[in-house]
């Protein structure tokens, strides 16, 4: 009961992501289902701009009554929005992608929890210097909508909007041997990690400089809210429709900090690999699969005990997130 009251109290303090989640995404799906003149709308969009959107509402539910083999009632719902806006003429190109998702899960004996939360914006502008080769500028931003916890501990906040927030700015060469494959290489890439939560920053979360204390535990200097890195980046993007109904999007990013203060860390490479697959079953139903793998040597991962409380120790591991869902969808 205490945990449930805590959750309701937190939602009351910052209800906007839940309002967006519960009303905006289903409303978009309902409105899009009433659009009969889609072809006419597409015909009014003139080159060189092209647009696309994918909206999905996924629901999972399980219920048990007098089930002797056991089980737990649960309900989960995830909303997904993927949008693109691309410009292309004889010389210049500009690609923009926005991916957002927010999900909640409620089981019988636990309060409502967040099981998906992401904001990902990618923009790449280039000028052609030869067929299949561009000089390009790549910008990428990542964060989340709402507070995150290391469940079952739902008291200690471990993340929130802009804690972390990741911003990458890179200048380099973009090689596109085919329309669905891009290889971007940048010798001049800046990676900025923001932690706009002072309590997390003081702990040195997500690689920022932690706070300094004297021998009596008094604060001398607060932790930094920004970790800036400069180095080289390789970004590979694959986006293709297979067999007519299977959309595959995959992105691999490799970053190396060439000017790390810790020289031994300069040999470590940050890895960010995300792949999503959308399988169209019919016009309004889609199965979606996502796997996201991260490794950042600068991001210590706290070691938790069996109750989800931090032990004070830290380690460095590969982070993996995997999701699969089936739900209503619509494409524009």
pLDDT, one tens digit per residue, over 101-121 is 999 999 887 889 999 999 999
Pick left, alpha or beta for residue 297 (phi over 0 → left; psi -120 to 50 → alpha; otherwise beta). alpha
Q: Does residue 166 contact residue 129 with C-beta atoms inside 8 Å? A: no
Kindly report, residue by residue over 55-64, the tens digit of the pLDDT. 999 988 888 8
d(CA 37, CA 33): 11
d(CA 147, CA 144): 8
Within a domain: 224: yes
Within a domain: 175: yes
Q: What is the mean pLDDT of residues 208-230?
A: 94
- For residue 322, pLDDT over 70 is answered with yes
- For residue 81, pLDDT over 90 is answered with yes
| Residue span of the structural domain in which 202 resides | 2-32+49-62+74-212+219-331
pTM of the model: 0.81
- For residue 229, pLDDT over 80 is answered with yes
Neighbouring C-beta atoms of residue 135, cutoff 10 Å: 13
d(CA 266, CA 257): 6
Kindly report, residue by residue over 244-263, the tens digit of the pLDDT. 899 999 999 999 999 988 88
Quote the distance between the C-alpha of residue 254 and its chain's center.
16
Within a domain: 44: no
Within a domain: 157: yes
- For residue 1, pLDDT over 80 is answered with no
pLDDT band at 308 (very low <50, low <70, confident <90, very high): low
Q: Does residue 95 contact residue 123 with C-beta atoms inside 8 Å? A: yes
Q: What is the DSSP string of 7-22?
A: HHHHHHHS-HHHHIII
For position 163, what pLDDT does the model report? Answer: 96
Quote the distance between the C-alpha of residue 82 and its chain's center.
12
- For residue 20, pLDDT over 80 is answered with no
Q: What is the mean pLDDT of residues 308-325?
A: 82
Tokens of 91: 């010389």
For position 110, what pLDDT does the model report? Answer: 85
For position 93, what pLDDT does the model report? Answer: 95
Q: What is the mean pLDDT of residues 4-12?
A: 37
Within a domain: 42: no
Within a domain: 223: yes
Q: Does residue 174 contact residue 184 with C-beta atoms inside 8 Å? A: yes
For position 129, what pLDDT does the model report? Answer: 95
Kindly report, residue by residue over 265-280, the tens digit of the pLDDT. 888 899 999 999 999 9
Which residue in the block uniquely carries the two structure tokens 């998906």? 116
Number of domains comprising the chain: 1
Within a domain: 67: no
Q: How many residues does the chain have?
A: 332
CATH number at 103 reads 2.40.230
Within a domain: 40: no
């Amino acid at each position: 009961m205490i945990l449930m009251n805590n959750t309701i109290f937190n939602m009351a303090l910052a209800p906007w992501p839940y309002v967006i989640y519960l009303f905006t995404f289903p409303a978009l799906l309902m409105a899009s289902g009433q659009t009969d003149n889609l072809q006419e709308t597409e015909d009014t969009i003139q080159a060189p701009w092209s647009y696309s959107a994918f909206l999905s509402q996924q629901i999972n539910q399980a219920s048990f009554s007098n089930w002797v083999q056991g089980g737990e009632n649960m309900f989960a719902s995830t909303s997904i929005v993927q949008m693109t806006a691309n410009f292309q003429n004889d010389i210049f190109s500009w690609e923009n992608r926005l991916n957002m998702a927010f999900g909640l899960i409620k089981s019988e004996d636990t309060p409502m929890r967040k099981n998906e939360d992401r904001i990902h914006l990618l923009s790449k502008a280039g000028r052609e210097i030869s067929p299949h080769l561009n000089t390009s500028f790549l910008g990428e931003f990542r964060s989340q909508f709402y507070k995150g916890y290391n469940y079952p501990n739902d008291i200690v906040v471990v993340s929130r909007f802009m804690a972390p927030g990741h911003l990458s700015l890179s200048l380099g060469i973009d090689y596109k041997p085919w329309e669905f494959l891009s290889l971007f290489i940048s010798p001049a890439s800046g990676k900025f990690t923001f932690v706009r939560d002072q309590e997390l920053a003081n702990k040195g979360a997500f690689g920022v400089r932690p706070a300094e204390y004297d021998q009596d535990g008094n604060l001398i200097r607060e932790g930094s809210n920004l970790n800036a890195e400069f180095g080289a980046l390789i970004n590979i993007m694959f986006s293709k429709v297979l067999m007519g109904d299977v959309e595959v999007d995959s992105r691999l990013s490799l970053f190396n900090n060439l000017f790390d203060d810790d020289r031994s860390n300069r040999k470590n490479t940050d890895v960010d690999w995300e792949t999503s697959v959308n399988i169209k079953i019919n016009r309004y139903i889609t199965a979606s699969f996502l796997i996201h793998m991260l490794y950042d040597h600068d991001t210590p991962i706290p070691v938790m005990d069996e109750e989800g409380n931090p032990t004070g120790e830290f380690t460095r591991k590969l982070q993996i997130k995997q999701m699969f869902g089936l739900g209503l969808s619509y494409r524009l």
